[in-house]
Structure formats: C-alpha cells, structure tokens
Structure 1
Amino acid sequence: MVKKSHFRVVSHLIDEDESEVSISMLADQLGWSPGHVSRIVSELEAYGYVQTKQSGRQKLVSLTDIEPIEQLEGLLTEYSHMDLSGLIAGSGLQILYYLDQGRTATELAEQSGVSQATVYRRLDDLQRVGVVGKSRSRYRLNDPFTVLVSIARGLFHQKHRHEAEKYATGLNFIWETHDEYLFACGSDVSADEFYLTGPALFGEFGVPLLTRDRRHYFRTDRRSKITPAELVCHTLLIDDDSRYRTYCLLLMQKQGIDRTVLRERAEHYVSESATDLRAIIDELIGFLESEGTVTAEQLPEWEEFKQTASEYEVTL
C-alpha cells in the first residue's frame, strides 16, 4: 500500500521544489527521525517514485520523472490549498484506481478490497472538497480531478514493474489491478507470490505442450496456487487465438473444470481486460457441451479437435 507517510514525502518534495535534498535535511523539514525518513525513502525508491544518490557522506533524494509523479506534481501545485495527498493516500488510492467510470460504493469495495465502511468515509471526504460527485448511487470524479485515475494506475503500475524487475527480465504486462498482475518475461522467476502460469503450466494438469513461448507469471497474495480454471483465464488473456483456445478446450475437458467456477473466475478478470473473456468462455463451454455443433470463429472443427484430443490422451 502507498501509505500516508509515502505521500507526505512525495508532496513535500513537490512543495519544496528542490531537485535534490539530503535525508538529514528532509528529516528536519518533516520533523521526523532520520531513521524513519530513510525507511520511507527506501520504500519509495523500491516503488520507483524517488531516486537517491550518494554525495560524500550524505544521501540525496529526488523525485523520478515518471508520468504519474509529474501528473501528481501538477495537481498538488494547482490545488495547494487542499490536502490532496492526505485524501488520496492509502486506501484512497485503491478506490481512485477504479473510478475510471461511475461506480457504486459496493462495486468500489469489491474491486478495491477496501471495506465498504472505509469506502464511504473516503468518498465522503472526496465529495466534501469537490473531487467526487454522486448521481443515482454512482460516484464519479469531477473535472479536473479525473486525472487521479491515471495517477493511481500509474503509481501502482510503477510499483508492480519495480517489484517484478527484481526477479525477471524483458517484462511485458498483460493484465493488472492495484494488487495483482499477469506478465510475460524472458526468464524464470522463483519468488514468493509469483506463480508460473500460461502454456508452460499445462503439463502440470495433464496437457503437456511443446511451446517455446515466453514464460508467464501471475503475482498475487490472494491465493496460493493456480487452479485449472485460473489457468484457462490467464491463457486467454495472454492470447485468444485459435491455438490458445484449443489449449484451453483440452484443459477444460481433461480436468473436468466446473463451468460455474470457470465463469466466476472469468468475471474476476473482466473489468481490467480488453478481451471479452466472458463471451470467449461461453463459446468454449458451448463448443464442448454441444460437441462442436455450437461453434464460433477461432474454434476448431469438431473432428479436428477430436484428433487433437486423442493425441493428448484427452477423453471426449
């Protein structure tokens, strides 16, 4: 979580408008201990929000030039009379992540993982200063504060990228929310809460694939393993072409994946995906249940699929 102390440091560096400041000076200005400031700066540097360099015996801190920091700087400068950094820190940033469209407090709580009571409190605070408006139980950001969505998403993405870069090279993000993300990379990853997924994992579930595709990982702290239903969703997010759809059909049949569970897992990924995952899942289910009578574009002919299934020892 991007805590209030993190935003306090960032907003202070913006307010002071200094290119670089030492840890000791920053501690004096904020009234904090040097040790506490050093810890906060280290966390911010790990997120990619600030950078440091050694100058003699002093460590100098400066803001990075990433887009969300520049956007935040513009907003905090223009509305310096408001405690925007306090309003958006912590759970506020998680809620803002999902205010890209009008949403109810219940929807915001479900997507952000913030309790509904806290969502209401944060929204009330944002409404009070004119950042958020409400119409028919749906909350929206008012102009010119719509940029807060871009800021929230940019800050979380930067945090995710810096985290993943500790373990992987050649990153390509495929799907992400404020606390989970799916990515492709050019290396193996061995770290807590990073789970192998995509075509390379099919062999674990009885469908060994000969593929030289890049490795894919899912970073989450919400679960401890990738289930077959989860794997189908990830694979379709990676690529929904005819080859990958056939992979998913084989896995669905081999593992006897419960259709209701599969639809539920697809729902989890829909809001942040450019792919209509629900529609694709319904097509795959319809194809299997009708033995190819109900088909769609990018699905194989039933006889062709039967042959492929036989090769993989999948019973239809």
Structure 2
Amino acid sequence: MISKAGLAVVDALSTGREATPRDLATETGYSQAHIYEVLDGLLDAGLLIERRGPNNQRQVRVAAHPVNEAYRTLHSELSHVDWATLLSPATLNVCWFLDDPRRVSEIAERLKITRQSVHKALSPLKNRAMLSSSGPKYAASNNLAPLLAFAQAIVTHEHRSRAREYAPSATVEWCDPNRALVRVQTTEDTDALLDAPDWQVTALGRFEEYGLQFFLAGEPAFWYAPDEELTPAEVVCHTLVLNSGSRRVSYAMLLIEALDINQETLTDTATWYDLESTVAAMYQVLQEGVEDSDESPVVLPSEAEFRALKEQYGVA
C-alpha cells in the first residue's frame, strides 16, 4: 500500500513535471533521506520514471500507470481537497467498501481490524462531510466516485505486484484489500503459484477436490487470502466472476447440488462479488425448476439440461 509520503510525492508530481529528491523533500516536508527511500519504492512499483540530469542528479516523474491516472482524475475533479494530507493507507483500504452503505462492524470484520480502527480511518472523511449515512451504515457521497476509483486502483496494484513476484503474467480479476482472485497465462506461472505461500487454486480448477473434474481450457485461477479457509461458496463465486457463460453457470449449480451449499451462506458470500441476483436465479431453478427467462441476470440451463449434467457426473 502506498504510504502517506509516497502519496505526497505522487501528488507533487501529478502535473507531469520532473523534480529532484531535494525539490520533493522541500515541497513535502519529509527528510531527503526518507524521500530517497520513498522514491526507490515507487520506482520499483513502476509508479515513477527516473533519469539522470546535470551532474548525475536524479530527476523523477510519474509513469503512465493506472494508480497515477486515477490520482490525476481525483486531483482534477476534486482539486479543492488536499488529498495527500487527508488520505492514509488505512483510509484508502476502508474506501474500498464505501461504494455501498455498510456497517462499521461489517467493514471491520472484512478487514480483520477493530471497529475503532475503522472509525479512525473514516474520521478524515467524516470531518470533511464526505460520507453519507443511512442509519448505522456509511457510504461515500455521490461526488466521490474518483476517490473510490483511486482506492480500487491502489488495492488492485498492490495485489498485482504481489502476484507478479511469482507469476509475471498474473492479472487481477477481483480483489478487496485483503483478498485477490487472479488469472495466469503460462504453465510456468501456474507452477510458481502452486508452490507459493498463501496462494490456492480456485474456481473450476478446484472442483476436482469435491469429486467433480472438468477439462480446463487454459491455466487455473488462484486465490489469495492468507489465513482464511477457501470455502465452497467462494469457489462458486469465483467460477461466476471469471466466466458467467451458461456452461459455467451450470457447473456452479452442479457444485451447489453436489455439496448442498446453503442458499443463505452463498448469498452472504455473493454480496461481495455483486452476484446476489445471479445466486437467487440459480437457486430458483434448483428449487422450483423455473425455466430460463429474459429477466434472468444470467443464462440458466433448462431442467432437462441440468438433469443430464447431474447424471453425467453422478450427482444425486
């Protein structure tokens, strides 16, 4: 996660100008020694570009990077706010959850921090009247879409960098501050993540563990969520996030049937992936045998198609 000092440097360079470490130390108020450390980290992360000026002096500028583009948009659309002072890593993490109204306890549980820590992270936004409240729930005000986009860019960059330490072809398909779903393109990268700590095969590649084996066209997907159990409900959601075509929907329904996954449990998990309506439609078919309709959020199998799939894989 980008530090406050790192954000101050990005802010100072957001207009596209070049600057020396001495210039940046003067503008941000951080020591020149600390600025050197910050610059090294930002260069390693691909956020900055460096060249040597007269007398071999370091000159840096922002790179063409999604994080920098998101910050430039935030700065241009809401230029009256001193974002470099206002935002901290903790506040950016909490911002990921503010697209919908959420309870502080819900955010705390998801981030595995205390409610007090969430309130502390929210306080800079509360003090600037940037939050809209709905009872005990908080969400970002309507005009703060650029802030949410910047928080998402930061979180995605963090997970992409982590995955690419092992697998250079990795791309992030979904993430929150503590979790990430990624795809890779090569068998070498698959092998690397299979051997890496904290990474697990998920989605269709995980079905074999439950007695359902399918041909994988390409490499399996991987899940990063340290110290958390990968549940069947998560596997169903990952399958649908990666591909919501009719075959994948059928396979997800097959896993629900094979493991008798509780609808409430799956719906609670699906909330984080914006899949609640998809899950509801799937259970409607499973429980009531309703045919596909134009109003369904996904293409669902007919009763006959799904019955044949169950027979093929021996699911009662």
TM-score after normalising by structure 1: 0.75
Report if aligned partners of 1:50, 1:64 keep a CA contact under 8 Å in 2. Answer: yes
How much has 1:282 moved relative to structure 2? 2.9
SS of match in other structure, 1:209: coil
Q: Cα gap change, 1:208/1:143 in structure 2, threshold over 3 Å: closer, same or farther?
A: closer
SS of match in other structure, 1:62: strand
How much has 1:60 moved relative to structure 2? 4.6
1:274 matched residue in structure 2: none
Report if aligned partners of 1:104, 1:137 keep a CA contact under 8 Å in 2. Answer: yes
CA RMSD across the alignment: 3.5
Give the counterpart letter for 2:96 in structure 1. Y
Query: Higher helix fraction: Structure 1 or Structure 2?
Result: 2
2:96 matched residue in structure 1: 97
Consecutive aligned runs of 4 or more in structure 1 exceeding 4 Å deviation: 12-15, 24-31, 53-60, 101-114, 130-146, 169-172
2:292 matched residue in structure 1: 296
Q: Cα gap change, 1:178/1:51 in structure 2, threshold over 3 Å: closer, same or farther?
A: farther
| Equivalent runs, 1:105-184 vs 2, <5 Å | 105-106=104-105, 109=108, 115-132=114-131, 139=138, 141=140, 146-184=145-183
SS of match in other structure, 2:166: coil
Give the counterpart letter for 1:283 in structure 2. A
Q: Deviations over 1:117-149 (max 9, x none)?
A: 233344443343454465766656568654222
SS of match in other structure, 1:176: strand
Q: Deviations over 1:169-217 (max 9, x none)?
A: 5555432223323233312141333322222222222111013144322
Report the count of equivalent residues: 300
Report if aligned partners of 1:229, 1:261 keep a CA contact under 8 Å in 2. Answer: yes
SS of match in other structure, 2:301: coil
How much has 1:14 moved relative to structure 2? 5.0
Q: Give me the whole-angstrom Cα distance separating, in 2, the residues matched to 1:196 and 1:232.
A: 13
Q: Cα gap change, 1:299/1:135 in structure 2, threshold over 3 Å: closer, same or farther?
A: closer
Q: Deviations over 1:59-106 (max 9, x none)?
A: 554322331232355478x44xx6532321121112333333555545
Q: Give me the whole-angstrom Cα distance separating, in 2, the residues matched to 1:198 and 1:54.
A: 47
Q: Cα gap change, 1:134/1:269 in structure 2, threshold over 3 Å: closer, same or farther?
A: closer
Report if aligned partners of 1:131, 1:141 keep a CA contact under 8 Å in 2. Answer: yes
Q: Cα gap change, 1:113/1:51 in structure 2, threshold over 3 Å: closer, same or farther?
A: farther
The yes-or-no answer on 1:9 pairing with 2:9 is yes
Q: Cα gap change, 1:154/1:289 in structure 2, threshold over 3 Å: closer, same or farther?
A: same
Report if aligned partners of 1:286, 1:295 keep a CA contact under 8 Å in 2. Answer: no
Q: Give me the whole-angstrom Cα distance separating, in 1, the residues matched to 2:277 and 2:17.
A: 52
Report if aligned partners of 2:48, 2:60 keep a CA contact under 8 Å in 1. Answer: yes
In structure 2, list runs of 5 or more residues that go unmatched. 294-298
Q: Give me the whole-angstrom Cα distance separating, in 1, the residues matched to 2:269 and 2:140.
A: 29
Percent sequence identity over aligned pairs? 23
Q: Cα gap change, 1:48/1:170 in structure 2, threshold over 3 Å: closer, same or farther?
A: same
Pick the aligned partner of 1:200 from 197, 201, 205.
Answer: 205
How much has 1:112 moved relative to structure 2? 5.6
In structure 1, list runs of 5 or more residues that go unmatched. 271-276
Q: Cα gap change, 1:192/1:57 in structure 2, threshold over 3 Å: closer, same or farther?
A: farther
Report if aligned partners of 2:18, 2:59 keep a CA contact under 8 Å in 1. Answer: no
Q: Give me the whole-angstrom Cα distance separating, in 1, the residues matched to 2:276 and 2:39.
A: 42
Give the counterpart letter for 1:6 in structure 2. G
Q: Give me the whole-angstrom Cα distance separating, in 1, the residues matched to 2:58 and 2:197.
A: 31
SS of match in other structure, 1:183: strand
Q: Give me the whole-angstrom Cα distance separating, in 2, the residues matched to 1:280 and 1:130.
A: 35
Q: Give me the whole-angstrom Cα distance separating, in 2, the residues matched to 1:113 and 1:19.
A: 39
Q: Give me the whole-angstrom Cα distance separating, in 1, the residues matched to 2:277 and 2:56.
A: 60
TM-score after normalising by structure 2: 0.75
Pick the aligned partner of 1:253 from 239, 257, 260.
Answer: 257
Q: Give me the whole-angstrom Cα distance separating, in 1, the residues matched to 2:239 and 2:124.
A: 40
Q: Give me the whole-angstrom Cα distance separating, in 1, the residues matched to 2:233 and 2:215.
A: 21
